[in-house]
Amino acid sequence: MAERGQLPLRGWKKGLWGFAIFLVCFFFAFPVFWLILTSLRPETEVFYVHAGTSFTLKNFVGAFNSHQFVRSMVNSAILATLATTCSLLVTVQSGYMLGRFRGTFRNTWFGFIYIVRTIPYITWGMPLYFITQWMRIYDTYLGLLFPHMAVHIAFFSLVMKGFFENISLASEEAARIDGCSNWGVFWKIAIPQVLPGIGAISLICWLWTWNELLFAMLLTSGRTTLLTLTIVQFVQEIGIQWNLMSAAAVIALIPAIIITIFGQKYVMRGLRV
Amino acid sequence: MGWSYPNSQRDRMSGRNWQRSKNDLDIEAELEAGRRYGLNQRRKFMWGLILPAFLTLIFFEILPVASAFWTSIHRARLFDKSRIFVGLDNYLHLLKDPHFFGTVLPNTFLFTFIGLTLETALGVVIALLLNRKFKGETLVRVLLLFPLMVAPSISGILFSWLFNTQFGIVDVFLEAIGFYRVPWLAGRWTAMSVIVISDVWLWTPWFAILLLAALQVQPLEPVEAARIDGANASQVFFNITLPYLSPVLTICMLIRTFDLFRQFDQTWVITTGGPARSTEFFSIYAYKEFFEYTRYDLGNAASLLGAVVMMIFGIIMYRTFARITMSEREKA
């Protein structure tokens, strides 16, 4: 039968379709599979990953013992959690403003966010190197938190706007007639209705902060070093030890793996444009 | 002037716009609302909503951009506090620099163009392939979602290992099927293609997932009617499905263009701009000018040029996009 408007496939066409699906899966799964396989191989056999048969978990121990690894992991986790909390508080409000009002003021704010979205990170990241020093927050959580918040505001305000546009106005109007204040309506009526969406965004927000490299390169030096930076420095310093490298990379992938497997349906909601 | 919510449920359901759907009851409600929350209070509320976001953006995005502009018209070095006014010299220097003009800019535009084309085309194809019921649907979707969660820098590591000249599996495979080994990261074009592949791996799923979501709620009557009239698959695709997808597709491509253009992480991990600075994009160039050659002014000028290009592009695209969505709405 025809499902979703597609004609049923028969014979060689069905075979071709299956093969195409297989190719897609292979292309997207293989690199990660290969990385995990490499991380399980002993040091001497890492250069013929495809041929050997011995496996070990020593690489993970080695990665954890390497310089600053655990510390940067903790730093990354703290920063990602902080940034997610603060960004969401700020972004939800700006999204509500975009989704609920109309007029010049709202359009100006929309245009502002859109323009800010087009500015490449490097343009404002480099001056921040001096500006955060001037503000005395260079190489601290705060100095990383605010730039990340700026990124998230530009990214997620528009997604939030979509969430608020899709919920019904009736209950908000009813609360207003009952004498609820603007802020009361916002916090008690509007927010609870978009909580699933906020949850989805918070996962993505957390992961993107965890994944970010450029700000870590520009705005840290030793004290609050972050995981992506530590691993990248790994590549450039001990680039030959691929077993340790891949173990470190696999460890950095753990949150991503957990979120994809357990939060799959959830995350999809936050990805829309 | 009273106040009104945009796009209220009623407006959308009736398909009319606010102005025309006003009746006596609405006007009364509006007056009531206007009395309770006067214009001033509404303004205050709107400001209150955006103020934290606004301040963050001003201090941590607009102020840096202004500072970048200010340094770009001065002579500024990383370890030297003095600033000497030089006007547009830095920009002229960039435009005369054969490396910036002949390598960095073409690289950036080429990468943006090729990456966008590949990701869009593959995304559409994958979304169409997956748009039916089959066993293991969820598994395929999880596999697709996964690259989106991977850090760009880690994706750089993945691909520099796969394409490693001595031990990479790609070269091992090429040798096994009787080909010769390709020193991927030693040449400009091969290194560029590795960067492109890593970006395609990372971002095609985004297109595929969003387009698939749109396809799954596509109204099927036009498709079936066209089939009954004897349209073949490609006619259905180009005349019905593609126009239906075009709003989502346009906005996806727009956002991807911004991000492809400023791409930094993967390139930094895979080639660091090498070999011999031949795969530098403008953000890599700016970063290197700043931190490696300590020419803060040139770095800022380069990054500002990139920002201006993207801003102009963004504004043009916004207008085009507004027109597209408008015409779609008129059709509906």
For residue A32, the chain B residues in CB contact (below 8 A) are 146, 150, 158
User: Which of B8, B60, B209, B224 is most worth mutating to test chain A (most A CB atoms within 10 A of its CB)?
Assistant: B60
Could you tell me if B150 and B261 lie in one domain? yes
Distance between B278 CA and the closest CA of chain A, angstroms = 18
Q: Is residue B181 part of a domain?
A: yes
Cβ distance of B49 and A94 shorter than 8 Å? yes
Contacts of A182 (CB under 8 A, 6+ apart): B37, B41, B42, B45
Could you tell me if A234 and A139 lie in one domain? yes
Could you tell me if A22 and A78 lie in one domain? no
Report the residue from A21, A35, A97 with minimal CB separation from B129.
A21
pTM, rounded to two decimals: 0.87
Cβ distance of A4 and B216 shorter than 8 Å? yes
How would you classify the pairing of strands B80-85 and B74-77? Answer: antiparallel
Give dist(CA A49, CA A246) in Å, integer: 12
Show the domain range for B28: 7-63
For residue A214, the chain B residues in CB contact (below 8 A) are 264-265, 283
Distances (CA, A) of B100 to A129, A216, B103, B305, B321: 23, 26, 6, 11, 31
Could you tell me if B54 and B109 lie in one domain? no
Cβ distance of A214 and B264 shorter than 8 Å? yes
Instruction: Give, for all 332 residues of chain B, the pLDDT tens digit.
Output: 344 444 444 444 444 444 444 455 555 555 555 555 566 778 888 899 999 999 999 999 999 999 999 999 988 888 877 888 888 889 999 889 899 988 999 999 999 999 999 999 999 999 999 988 888 888 888 889 899 889 999 999 999 889 988 888 898 888 888 888 888 888 899 999 999 999 999 999 999 999 998 888 888 888 888 888 888 888 888 988 898 888 888 888 988 999 999 999 999 999 888 788 899 999 999 999 998 888 889 999 999 999 999 999 999 988 887 776 666 555 54
Strands (E), chain B: 74-77, 80-85
Could you tell me if B175 and B102 lie in one domain? yes
Show the domain range for A32: 12-56
- The amino acid sitting at A41 is R
Identify the CATH number of the domain in which residue A167 sits. Answer: 1.10.3720.10
Could you tell me if B25 and B152 lie in one domain? no
Could you tell me if B175 and B119 lie in one domain? yes
Cβ distance of A169 and B9 shorter than 8 Å? yes
**Interface membership of B320 toward A (CB under 8 Å):** no
ipTM entry: 0.90
Cβ distance of A90 and B64 shorter than 8 Å? no
Q: Would you tell me which residues 239-298 of chain B have a C-beta closer than 8 angstroms to some C-beta of chain A? A: 248, 251-252, 255, 258, 261-262, 264-265, 268-269, 272, 282-283, 286-287, 290, 296
